[in-house]
Structure 1
Amino acid sequence: MRDAAGNGGREAPSFLTDVPARLDRLPWDRFHTLVCIALGVTWILDGLEVTLVGSLAPAIAASPSLQLTETQVGLTASAYLVGAVLGALGFGWLTDRLGRKKLFTLTVLVYLLATIATGFSWDVWSLAFFRFLTGAGIGGEYAAVNSAIQELIPARRRGQTDIVINGTFWAGGAMGAVISLVVLNPAVVDPEIGWRAAFIVGGALSFVILLLRRWIPESPRWLMTHGRPEEAERIVAGIERGVQARHGTLPPLQHGPIRLHRRDHITIAEVVGLMFRRHRDRSILALTLMACQAFCYNAIFFTYALVLTRFYDVPAAHVGWYILPFALGNLAGPLLLGRLFDTVGRRVMITLTYALAGILMAITGYGFAQGWLDATTQTAAWTVIFFFASAAASAAYLTVGESFPLEMRAMGIAVFYAFGTGIGGVVGPALFGWLIEGGERVDIMWGYLFGAALMLAAAATEWVLGFAAEGRPLEEVAEPVSARPR
């Protein structure tokens, strides 16, 4: 639907479009399932790769060609996160300018090549460099993929879908834990070969993603907000024809068309103004949620194998048995709680999950310092804690994506992923690696208590600044920039 208008050349031509309403009314269809699989499978492979790093940390550290200290293991994890920060910013900016489809193809290419290269690392610096590149690909994926998923999924299912997809990282985590049991078993394969093969094979599997993503169209919402409503109309009409052939007559539209003004992209100055003036409270909320969960996740997960081997004398070859339930707990949280973010609501559920994770983390940290826990009970405690923390972390990405206008959605995700990871994630692994190398339980306890305090602070911030987005069109939650004349 178009309706050109102008004002003596001073105002960009405008048009009416019902693309958002048509996308939001669709019943769940195999098209949506394809979107979730093709875009969300990256999280599974990322979880596979990151879990292997955690599980293989002792074997990598003991590698004759690397010979890393605990601090160097933590620093290579930080290199991955630095890459993720820079990759998110660079690829996020390109995603909003060039489109979702081009970038979620490019980012997965960077990821798979760097992951394969990791298996050929020859010293600490090459390992850190390849981990940096892997992080850059994943950082770009978070921006390109999350924005595309949110824009293609109907509003009534957006929260649950986004949270579950982000949570499938831990399906890959469980797979990584099982694989580590094989590649670290000297009776099966030489550990020096095993950890390298794990990265090479895991990266090669990413080629499947490229084949699946060929069938995902450009986001119609991105097209309409970048002055290309005709292309958006053709894509939506094609999706509707397929859905109608499988489901019959489509439901009526639940909301009317919106008027947008033709423009290409927004400037960096406009992005800054939207983040720190019009949506200042949402920016504070996004940064808090992202930074706090990033610190806790990256600090604890990247170094847990070191805790198991150093304090509980768990053999490196058996670490996977302890990472597996940890990963399954993380997967179960989004799967079982995800629907509640669309029914009970974002504000209540995000507050609750962050708060419960923080309280339980503080109790576990104290129990660790007192020597009350063994390897099994420590793992059980983390499994319960991250059942809630995983849903909370996934909801952080959902919140960032919903907080800002469509024209800067990928950049918004990228900026707050980058800031959150930079503030909370890069410091965490290096800090905990240093604390573990010191060998004092009390020192590590203070690290756990600091993480717990951050989660509780995030819960309080959500309760004060959280906003209702459940079931609402993205254009209603955050008005598009192109809805206002320049």
Structure 2
Amino acid sequence: MSSQVETGRITTDIPARLDRLPWAGWHWLIVAGLGTVWILDGLEVTIVGSMSDALQKPLGTGLGMTSSDIGMAGAVYVLGSCLGALFFGQLTDRFGRKKLFLVTLGIYLIGTVLTAFSMNPMFYFACRFVTGAGVGGEYAAINSAIDELIPAKYRGRVDLAINGSFWLGAAAGSLLTVALLNPSLVPAWLGWRLAFGLGAILGLGILLVRRNVPESPRWLFIHGREHEGEKVVKQIEEHVEGTTGAPLDPVDETITIRQRKTIGLGTIAKTVFTLYPRRTVLCLALFIGQAFLYNAFFFTYGDSLTKFLGVQQVGWFIAAFAVSNFLGAFLLGPLFDTVGRVRMISGTYILSGALLGVTGFMLGGLNAYTLTLMGAIIFFFASAGASSAYLTASEVFPMETRALCIAFFYAVGTAAGGISGPLFFGHLIDTASKAKDITGIAPGYFVGAALMIVGGVVAALMGVKAEQKSLESIAQPLTAEEATASGSGGDRTAPATA
């Protein structure tokens, strides 16, 4: 469809009304309904990392996989996430946030249920691809919806806490496998399959909650459905006033836009690469750095503990590591709204990269406990930085391109770090295992450290001071620019504040 399908011009105060809302119970509904997808992703990744030994057992009990196969499974999962993000990101901008965050969660459920019934490595790889496609699509739909529904004052800390909730899923997944991979409690052939099945049960619960989350009013008014957007905002305002017991302040800030049913890919590409080239470089640097650091390190962390450091049950170690990651995003998150985006993003990237490089030099003298301690310290800062990559991509580009921009940078950055990372680390572990020398994986640490530091430097030079600003002031909607440049089309004014 052409990007020239128009429905008129309107002036609306919907963005200002959403941004002036105080925090209320309704916002917790958004967090519960949308933010919990990261718990699912953390659960998926950690279950696979914790079950590396179980999956390497012979067919009948496991799937007879090698360490390289484990790395390949991680790469296939990430490949599915990248392609899913790109495919569903475009659909999210075209058909709306709500339709797609329901569809993508359904795809995740199908993929993870089928994974539980894997009978050989190839079927397992295919199921991981489908599961990844659902999760990747979720990233685009959910990040855009969250940022468009959460008030500007709280957007940074909420976004970071939600992205950091990945590690709640990681902790839950690691503790879950402690029991499910104990052959005295659950038969070895059944435990790892149950782990995937329980993830599907959690996903089904999230789907039921998510049905109550509305479509983004910002998306509605730009796509010619301003009366639906007005209805949604009125319902939110009534809910907030009922919760707080105080009337809401009136707003006098409006925006005039030319509505479009669809926005062409050519327009979106021109926007990203021509109007905002510095922001494009910034997002690429942030995503590549965090993706390589996390996917390369975490996909093979369980293997490192078992093969080199004599750990039989890695669940407890991964749980401790995961808790530190969540606390980093949760505790440091408010500083991104107060100290500022640029200082916090550059600081967390450079510090975590430097600490990882130091750890690479110390590998030969570390045991399971000290390696986990160093990882917990490093990723306390890295988790806040990594979460800020998603925050940055979701707020520094125009609304019409938001979901696809998130998908694009996630896919490119994750493909560079998340596909090559697990393969690279899987090769390093296989080689180091033959030599029985853990220092053989140090080159991976050094590469990850360098990329994180580069991301931090780019953030310091090109970062956007977006803290506590409306999305429309950070990046004006494309349709708003067009509305001021043209006088054609039917003029309409959206209803004012109730």
Q: Which of the five TM-score ranges fits, normalised by the shorter chain?
A: over 0.9
The TM-score, its normalising length taken from structure 2, stands at 0.93
Q: Partner of 2:257: helix, strand, or coil?
A: strand
User: Is 1:324 aligned to residue 316 of structure 2?
Assistant: no
What code does the residue aligned with 2:143 have? N
> What CA distance in whole angstroms lies between the structure 1 residues aligned with 2:246 and 2:331?
32
Tell me the number of residue pairs that the alignment of Structure 1 and Structure 2 aligns.
474
Shift in alpha-carbon separation, 1:286–1:254, aligned structure 2, 3 A: farther
Q: How far is 1:82 from its partner?
A: 0.4
> What CA distance in whole angstroms lies between the structure 2 residues aligned with 1:441 and 1:374?
10
Q: How far is 1:64 from its partner?
A: 2.5
What code does the residue aligned with 1:39 have? L
Q: What is the aligned counterpart of 1:396 among 389, 394, 402?
A: 389
Aligned to 1:441: 438
Q: What is the aligned counterpart of 1:165 among 162, 165, 183?
A: 162
Tell me if structure 2 keeps the 8 A contact 1:276–1:283.
yes
User: Is 1:246 aligned to residue 243 of structure 2?
Assistant: yes
> What CA distance in whole angstroms lies between the structure 2 residues aligned with 1:246 and 1:381?
44
Aligned to 1:224: 221
Q: Partner of 2:269: helix, strand, or coil?
A: helix
> What CA distance in whole angstroms lies between the structure 1 residues aligned with 2:8 and 2:91?
25
Q: What is the aligned counterpart of 1:387 among 380, 383, 399?
A: 380
Q: How far is 1:230 from its partner?
A: 1.3
Tell me if structure 2 keeps the 8 A contact 1:96–1:409.
yes
Q: How far is 1:246 from its partner?
A: 2.1
Larger mean CA deviation between 248-257 and 236-245 belongs to 248-257
Equivalent residues in 2 for 1:46-445, closer than 5 Å: 46-65=41-60, 66-253=63-250, 256-315=253-312, 318-368=313-363, 371-439=364-432, 440-445=437-442
Tell me if structure 1 keeps the 8 A contact 2:7–2:261.
no
Aligned to 1:4: none
Q: Partner of 1:14: helix, strand, or coil?
A: strand
Q: How far is 1:209 from its partner?
A: 1.3
> What CA distance in whole angstroms lies between the structure 2 residues aligned with 1:225 and 1:469?
22
Q: How far is 1:248 from its partner?
A: 3.2
What code does the residue aligned with 2:376 have? T
Q: How far is 1:249 from its partner?
A: 3.6
What code does the residue aligned with 1:101 have? K
Q: Partner of 1:338: helix, strand, or coil?
A: helix
Aligned to 1:42: 37
> What CA distance in whole angstroms lies between the structure 2 residues aligned with 1:403 and 1:94?
20
> What CA distance in whole angstroms lies between the structure 1 residues aligned with 2:458 and 2:31?
30
> What CA distance in whole angstroms lies between the structure 1 residues aligned with 2:445 and 2:186?
36
Larger mean CA deviation between 359-368 and 245-254 belongs to 245-254
Tell me if structure 1 keeps the 8 A contact 2:84–2:134.
yes
Larger mean CA deviation between 58-67 and 104-113 belongs to 58-67
Tell me if structure 1 keeps the 8 A contact 2:153–2:468.
yes
What code does the residue aligned with 1:34 have? L
Deviations 1:192-238 (A, max 9, x none): 21001110121122111111011111000011111221111111011
Return 5+ residue gaps in structure 2 as ranges: 487-498
Tell me if structure 2 keeps the 8 A contact 1:63–1:192.
no
Q: How far is 1:112 from its partner?
A: 1.1
Q: How far is 1:29 from its partner?
A: 1.0
> What CA distance in whole angstroms lies between the structure 1 residues aligned with 2:292 and 2:243?
45
> What CA distance in whole angstroms lies between the structure 1 residues aligned with 2:201 and 2:108?
10
Return 5+ residue gaps in structure 1 as ranges: 1-8
The TM-score, its normalising length taken from structure 1, stands at 0.95
Q: How far is 1:448 from its partner?
A: 0.6
What code does the residue aligned with 2:351 have? L
Aligned to 1:462: 459
> What CA distance in whole angstroms lies between the structure 2 residues aligned with 1:272 and 1:484?
16
Q: How far is 1:255 from its partner?
A: 5.6
Deviations 1:403-459 (A, max 9, x none): 111111100100000001111110000110010000143431111111100000000
Tell me if structure 2 keeps the 8 A contact 1:226–1:407.
no
Q: How far is 1:93 from its partner?
A: 0.5
Q: How far is 1:10 from its partner?
A: 12
Deviations 1:247-291 (A, max 9, x none): 234443566101011211210000110010001110110111011
Larger mean CA deviation between 429-438 and 65-74 belongs to 65-74
What code does the residue aligned with 1:236 have? V
Tell me if structure 2 keeps the 8 A contact 1:227–1:261.
no
Shift in alpha-carbon separation, 1:458–1:255, aligned structure 2, 3 A: farther
Q: Partner of 1:479: helix, strand, or coil?
A: coil
> What CA distance in whole angstroms lies between the structure 2 residues aligned with 1:12 and 1:229?
11
Deviations 1:124-179 (A, max 9, x none): 11110000001000000000011000000000000000000010111111111111
Shift in alpha-carbon separation, 1:10–1:296, aligned structure 2, 3 A: closer
Deviations 1:327-356 (A, max 9, x none): 011111011100000000000000111011
Tell me if structure 2 keeps the 8 A contact 1:155–1:472.
yes
Aligned to 2:10: 15
Q: How far is 1:63 from its partner?
A: 4.2
> What CA distance in whole angstroms lies between the structure 1 residues aligned with 2:148 and 2:7?
24
> What CA distance in whole angstroms lies between the structure 1 residues aligned with 2:356 and 2:170?
21
> What CA distance in whole angstroms lies between the structure 2 residues aligned with 1:446 and 1:71?
17
Shift in alpha-carbon separation, 1:198–1:374, aligned structure 2, 3 A: same
> What CA distance in whole angstroms lies between the structure 1 residues aligned with 2:201 and 2:98?
21
Larger mean CA deviation between 293-302 and 49-58 belongs to 49-58
> What CA distance in whole angstroms lies between the structure 1 residues aligned with 2:442 and 2:243?
56
Q: Partner of 2:371: helix, strand, or coil?
A: helix
Tell me if structure 1 keeps the 8 A contact 2:51–2:177.
yes
Shift in alpha-carbon separation, 1:195–1:362, aligned structure 2, 3 A: same
Larger mean CA deviation between 147-156 and 36-45 belongs to 36-45
> What CA distance in whole angstroms lies between the structure 2 residues aligned with 1:40 and 1:199?
20
Q: Partner of 1:187: helix, strand, or coil?
A: coil
CA-based RMSD of the aligned residues comes to 1.5
> What CA distance in whole angstroms lies between the structure 1 residues aligned with 2:451 and 2:438?
20
Q: Partner of 2:36: helix, strand, or coil?
A: helix
